[in-house]
Amino acid sequence: DAGITQSPRHKVTETGTPVTLRCHQTENHRYMYWYRQDPGHGLRLIHYSYGVKDTDKGEVSDGYSVSRSKTEDFLLTLESATSSQTSVYFCAISGIEGGEQYFGPGTRLTVT
Amino acid sequence: ELKVEQNPLFLSMQEGKNYTIYCNYSTTSDRLYWYRQDPGKSLESLFVLLSNGAVKQEGRLMASLDTKARLSTLHITAAVHDLSATYFCAVAPGTYKYIFGTGTRLKVLA
């Protein structure tokens, strides 16, 4: 299995609070992605990174920001959590552009 | 709008039967991926299809890709209960972008 971990695995937070999710990889892959998974929507790309300090927006980026200061870590921040951000968040990595992705175990986030 | 459509969205089938899941996509893509997801778990890569006419097989599952028709199929042969899961297809139509289908939830009944 690809070495990808996510933390925390579960989190309950209140509306308006900031939240940071962490994705850590040991594969030295260049590309990293954050997705959210909601019933009826499949996986939707939030943000992605194509290198250290190189990030860009996906299709559902509003309300989220990311940072990547090291190859192995990709952080997703919800600046002020809202109930619509209750979801399961998956991190993924790939070694080549557009190549096969490997997914982390996911973080279940509940915003009350 | 880039779209990936899977059908059926839900499939209940008897053990031992055959069936096909379809994945249609609206944009040019030479790469198509199939993933499996068990309830409460992450996504596991099943197949990587990289060219027109590509066919891959693993056990009771076989995937194929027709880039001209923008169609991929996942064929299940003699289904067993262990194949019960949600199956996703995804395309990579451009730089860094992946578009996922909404998934097909498969339930194999004994």
DSSP for B56-75 reads EEETTEEEEEETTTTEEEEE
Q: B25 pLDDT band (50/70/90 cuts)? A: very high
pLDDT of A27 strictly over 60: yes
Shortest Cα distance, chain A CAs vs residue B30, angstroms: 10
Q: Tell me the residue ranges of DSSP E strands in B8-103.
A: 10-14, 19-25, 32-37, 43-49, 55-58, 61-66, 71-76, 85-94, 97-100
pLDDT attached to residue B29: 80
Q: Which residues of A touch B36 (CB under 8 A)?
A: none
Q: B28 pLDDT band (50/70/90 cuts)? A: confident
How does the average pLDDT of chain B come out, rounded?
A: 93
Q: Which residue of A has its CA nearest to B88?
A: A42
CA A9 – CA A88 distance, rounded (Å): 10
pLDDT, tens digit (0-9, with 9 covering 90-100), for B62-76: 999 999 999 999 999
Q: Cβ A56–B42 below 8 Å, yes or no?
A: no
Q: Cβ A98–B95 below 8 Å, yes or no?
A: yes
Mean pLDDT of B28-46: 92
Q: B109 pLDDT band (50/70/90 cuts)? A: very high
Q: Cβ A98–B96 below 8 Å, yes or no?
A: yes
Mean pLDDT of A42-58: 93
pLDDT attached to residue A1: 57
pLDDT of B95 strictly over 80: no
Q: Cβ A41–B98 below 8 Å, yes or no?
A: no
pLDDT attached to residue A2: 65
How does the average pLDDT of chain A come out, rounded?
A: 95
* B98 vs A65 pLDDT, higher one: A65
Shortest Cα distance, chain B CAs vs residue A100, angstroms: 7
Q: Cβ A45–B97 below 8 Å, yes or no?
A: yes
Mean pLDDT of A38-66: 93
Task: Out of B4, B96, B103, name the one closest to residue A48 (CB).
Answer: B96
Q: A63 pLDDT band (50/70/90 cuts)? A: very high
CA A73 – CA B11 distance, rounded (Å): 38
